[in-house]
Structure 1
Amino acid sequence: MEVLQAFCGRIDAVNGRLNAIVYEDRERAFDMARRRDELLRRAPGEAGCLHGVPLTIKLNADVAGEATSNGVPAHARRIAAQDSLVVANLRRAGAVIVGRTNVPPFSFRWFTENPLHGRTLNPWRDDITSGGSSGGAAVAAAAGLCALSHGTDIAGSIRYPAYVNGLAGLRPTPGRVPAYSPTVDMRFAGLQMFSAQGPLARRMDDVALGLRAMVPNGFADPTWVDVPLEAAGDAEPVRVALVDEIPNARLAPEVRDALAQAARSLTSAGYAVEHAAPPGIDEALELWLAIVMTEVRVGMFAEVEAMDDPSILASVRAMIDCAPPADLHGYAVALARRDGLKRKWHEFLERYPLVLMPTSCRAPMPWGADLHGTESMRMLLVDQSPLIAVAAMSLPGLNVPTGLANGMPMGVQLVARGFREQRLLAAGRVIECDAAMPWCDAPGG
């Protein structure tokens, strides 16, 4: 109970300005905290791995009795009758939900603002994006409003908010965490293949604990895969591909410095770091656009046009304009080409079990960087291609903070084969030890 009270005090102190948590049910939260305290007194052996831990749930996952608005005014009264599978798992692990975190409409921008709840500010600097689509989740964890945040990621929506807020953010392998939410009528192929749910927190150990709580009991989700969390050799140093050149992109100097710093940390810990280029990052971006934006045209764009939100409309239109024309032939060929490229990635990951690459090629972006037309969006997509390529190949990815650059958070991305999240976390701990974030310096942190 005292832990929850402390976090609520923090929410009262800073959330009014940051706007990360946009819905709370404190009566329900404190009732759950009392139940957790009673269980500890009565049967301490039954406590779960997140017993009493205050956490937040993103607005696009179902929480029974609450609206799954996903930042869309037309969905503001879409009340969930039951918890999504990941929320049910977190409750079983003993977590206490302190609130719901903000998103862009449809969870489809790297900038978190919407007509329902307004803008979520980055705690380090107001004029820089808080990230998206798990921007509220990242700010809540970064500003100390919760111990752990739930997020989702189809093109970087966990890893990018973690990057710009100085967090560890894990995109697990799709299928690792059950994704089913009862309010979602249907999930297109791209959403099934590319999207993942995972944790964000200040420390790798907290992310690891969150992952452990999220993964079980997913039989109601046909995409869920029951694979052990641990595999032999995950904690041991391995061969690492250092990727500091991205096709058609120019890495910001601070991104290049962060990669070099992380490479030195891994080398000192016994990892064998070599320069190597994974196959087809640019092709992976092209395939992601061909598949996802075809599905957006079919399943989401009419609702985007119907909204009174020029920002989401401009952003989605520009992204559609960057994609190949939508037709059945192009969609089918993109799915087939993806299979061949994914095979090449698997061969690469046999040689290099760990990849160290940019999270983004840019320093954290100013607000509205996706609203300047098609050519600007094309350049933005190229700079975000390290995020998108990992999603397109259905791989796990982890943003690891490396400290501050020019007063803003900086980080790198680690990538491994499917279902080897523990390998990412082990390497992330090595980099984290050499690059503790100065949370006391963050105005909202």
Structure 2
Amino acid sequence: MSNKDLWRLSATETAASTIAGDVTAEAVTEANLARMEAANPALNAVVVPLAEEARARARDLDRARAAGAPCGPLHGVAVTIKINVDQKGQANSNGVVALKDVIAPGDAPVVSNLLKAGAVVIGRTNTPEFSFRADTDNPLFGRTNNPWGDHISAGGSSGGAGAAVMAGIGALAHGNDIGGSLRFPAAANGAVTVKPGLSRVAAYNPSQTAERGMLAQAMSVQGLIVRSAADLHLSMPALIAPDARDPFHTPLPWRGEPLEGPIKVGFTKETYEFEMHPEVSAALDDARAALVDAGYQVEDIDPPLLREAGMVGYRTLMGEVLALMEPAIRAQGSAEINDIFDEYFRQFVPYKDVELLQMMAKRSYYARAWSEFQQDYPLVLAPFLPQPFFGPDRDLEGAEGVREVLGSALWSYAMNYMGLPAACVPARLANLPKGPQPINVQIVARRWREDLAVDACIAIENRIGRMCDPLWTRMG
């Protein structure tokens, strides 16, 4: 492979090559910057390029290696950082014009942990206003487009991250997820991710002026979007490293104890009142077959309290948003984001006062039911969305648009509410009337066992193949 094609390597392949000395961190960085220059203008995924900083960082890594310093596990791997997380000297705008000059005085734990592992940050990726849409557009930087075409939204809120990594701009893309913001972009772009469970990844922004709401702390997590599932095993151990600034971080190893016998996987196509598209059904069948072939014991199940947990979870989160965020949204948000929040509040009527506190407490009820259920089924293979991913601005199309985008995403935000790990992996490439698009499925893991979900993603990817390969052929 020529140096100019090094952007095609996975993070695992890149790190192996740079650590062995087969290629330099500088060569990898230049290849990724060239890919960004070529692909990003059509996508608007990276909205703050950091080319010169990346070059300097790569040269420092090469000098340190030549001097005999040990290499980190992500030595020379190109990464992007979402613009709602602090990176020293950069604006944490969160897609809001009024916040464009909020400059971070230091790095968030996810940034410092990636740097400690040897990664090279090449740019910062786009997000919708307040990171609160499943689509990515804002008045500050504009729309992020999906590399598969304009017929598909890039997803959100980590839409810039998903579009960038699948287009070949960096091998790893940082994102975060309070109701699906890692998994929506993974599903939209055909990438792979695992939403970590509660307290798994240290979180803190040095630029913050107040602590987040309790439910936001309990539901929001930091993670990575990748195009090769095995890259999560390489990169997530670095991401989950402890940081004293997060006093509730749980310092557990990435790999848990091996489970005895074949791992049981609960399988369901339940989408409740939402119709399942035939291509989603076929993707679930393909994923199931892949797991059976890999030695998993897959059984049909009835998921406990899933719809109730999802609806209660979203109404509870909306209650906290109404109490703590609404003044900023009304004062600083665009007319479009205010229209969307009006519809959120209509469809997911926020709990208030004592009822809000009661429903926050009820998280334990749902989480306990799933904890007991997953003693028998450590993994659950389920839909992510009941339909192929929607088009741009679908959530601006009134009640039906918001219902399709978030109302049908019960399997997404239920997992945040209960704090469970949940991976999202492509299992099919559908040829639909508007154009081809990937179809992702979700794998829910037992608490603390993100590694099991990633193992299952690898088994599915080994059979289905990586979605970046047909995408790059399509992109030319």
Common fold by TM > 0.5: yes
Deviation sequence 1:306-364 (CA, Å, 0-9, x none): 24623211211111112234421120121222211111111111111110011111201
Q: Distance in 2 between matches of 1:422 and 1:12?
A: 34
Q: 4+ runs of 1 displaced by more than 6 Å?
A: none
Q: Distance in 2 between matches of 1:301 and 1:127?
A: 32
Tell me the number of residue pairs that the alignment of Structure 1 and Structure 2 aligns: 444
Aligned twin of 1:361 = 386
Aligned twin of 1:346 = 371
3-state secondary structure, aligned to 1:208: helix
Q: 2:316·2:350 contact (CA, 8 Å) conserved in 1?
A: no
Q: Distance in 1 between matches of 2:216 and 2:141?
A: 25
Q: 2:196·2:223 contact (CA, 8 Å) conserved in 1?
A: yes
Root-mean-square deviation over aligned CA pairs:
1.6
TM-score (norm 2): 0.90
Q: Distance in 2 between matches of 1:235 and 1:360?
A: 32
Over the matched positions of the two proteins, sequence identity in percent amounts to 38
3-state secondary structure, aligned to 1:331: helix
Aligned twin of 2:4 = none
Tell me which amino acid in the other structure corresponds to 1:358. P
Q: Distance in 2 between matches of 1:182 and 1:25?
A: 20
1:199-278 map, 5 Å: 199-233=224-258, 237-278=262-303
Q: 2:175·2:222 contact (CA, 8 Å) conserved in 1?
A: yes
Q: 1:70·1:103 contact (CA, 8 Å) conserved in 2?
A: yes
TM-score (norm 1): 0.96
CA distance change for structure 1 residues 97 and 379 in 2, over 3 Å: closer, same or farther? Answer: closer
1:24-43 map, 5 Å: 24-43=49-68
Aligned twin of 2:6 = none
Q: Does 1:165 align with 2:189?
A: yes
Q: Distance in 2 between matches of 1:188 and 1:207?
A: 29
Q: Does 1:93 align with 2:128?
A: no
Q: 2:306·2:410 contact (CA, 8 Å) conserved in 1?
A: yes
Q: 2:162·2:225 contact (CA, 8 Å) conserved in 1?
A: yes
Q: 2:227·2:468 contact (CA, 8 Å) conserved in 1?
A: no
Q: 2:438·2:467 contact (CA, 8 Å) conserved in 1?
A: no
Tell me which amino acid in the other structure corresponds to 1:115. P
CA distance change for structure 1 residues 143 and 236 in 2, over 3 Å: closer, same or farther? Answer: farther
1:8-27 map, 5 Å: 8-27=33-52
Deviation sequence 1:44-74 (CA, Å, 0-9, x none): 5x11011111100001110000000010111
Gaps of 5+ in 1: none
Aligned twin of 1:327 = 352
Q: Distance in 1 between matches of 2:259 and 2:165?
A: 27
Aligned twin of 2:223 = 198
Aligned twin of 2:451 = 422
Instruction: Tell me by how many angstroms 1:201 deviates.
Output: 0.8
1:268-417 map, 5 Å: 268-307=293-332, 309-374=334-399, 376-406=401-431, 407-417=436-446
Gaps of 5+ in 2: 1-25
Farther-moved stretch of structure 1 (401-410 vs 96-105): 401-410
3-state secondary structure, aligned to 2:395: coil
Q: Distance in 1 between matches of 2:80 and 2:35?
A: 14
Instruction: Tell me by how many angstroms 1:440 deviates.
Output: 4.2
Q: Distance in 1 between matches of 2:261 and 2:248?
A: 30
Q: Distance in 1 between matches of 2:217 and 2:323?
A: 16
Aligned twin of 2:22 = none
